[in-house]
Structure 1
Amino acid sequence: MEWIYLVVAGFFEVAWAIELKYSLGFTKTLPSLLTIIGMITSFYFLSLSLKSLPLGTAYAVWTGIGTVGTVVLGVILFKEPIDIMRVICVVLIVIGIIGLKLITIK
């Protein structure tokens, strides 16, 4: 169950990061509110996962999900540039996330 909590936390991290972009420096009310709600929800689920997962593993996976998700959505939603080096870096992050999952006992 702790891994499910961690994945949910990662998805909410992506959500609040995207909303943060839409908030335009907290000048737009709804995206700003959604950013704060997403942050709280993400931290809540991260805290649940930390009850049984090692801190280093959970934090790395959480930020990794957030990084990969925001890069992908940045390309899709905001037309951010994508090139082979960026793809390779994202793949390396995914490999690191999978590696941490595989070496964690829980």
Structure 2
Amino acid sequence: MKWILLFIGIIAELCGSTCMKMSEGFTKLYPSIFTFVFWAIGLTVFIFALKKFELSFAYAIWAGLGIVGVSIIGMVFFKEPHNILKIISILIIVVGVILLNISDILLNK
């Protein structure tokens, strides 16, 4: 259940960030409203997830997957430029998140 909460929080944060881009500097009403709604959901769910995770672990996963998700959304939906260095950097973040998970498993044995 704790992982579900964490991933719901991350997805909500990604939706909020996407809506923020779509709001064009908060000049469009509905994307602006949805930005705050999704962020509120994301932070609320993250608070509940923190009851089950260590802060340093949960926040690293939250931030790492958030960066990866926003980067992919930017490249795919907003046609943001990308190159091999950007792709490699995203992969390094993914590897870091995987290593964090492995270290958490090893520490909690």
1:93 is matched by which residue type in structure 2? I
Q: Please, which runs of 5 or more residues in structure 1 have no aligned partner?
A: none
- Structure 1 stretches of 4+ moved >4 Å: none
Establish whether residue 7 from structure 1 lines up as the match of residue 7 from structure 2: yes
Q: Report how far residue 36 of structure 1 moved.
A: 0.3
Q: Report how far residue 27 of structure 1 moved.
A: 1.3
Establish whether residue 54 from structure 1 lines up as the match of residue 38 from structure 2: no
Q: Please, which runs of 5 or more residues in structure 2 have no aligned partner?
A: none
RMSD: 1.3
Q: Which residue of the partner structure matches residue 95 of structure 2?
A: 95
8 Å Cα contact 1:12-1:42 kept in structure 2: yes
Q: What is the CA deviation profile of residues 26-83 of structure 1, one whole-angstrom value per residue up to 9, with x for unaligned ones?
A: 1111001100011001101111110010101111111111111110010111111111
Structure 1 Cα separation of the partners of residues 6 and 41 of structure 2: 11
The TM-score, its normalising length taken from structure 2, stands at: 0.92
Q: Which residue of the partner structure matches residue 45 of structure 1?
A: 45
Name the % identity.
36
Q: With CA pairs under 8 Å and 6+ residues apart, which has the higher RCO, 1 or 2?
A: 1
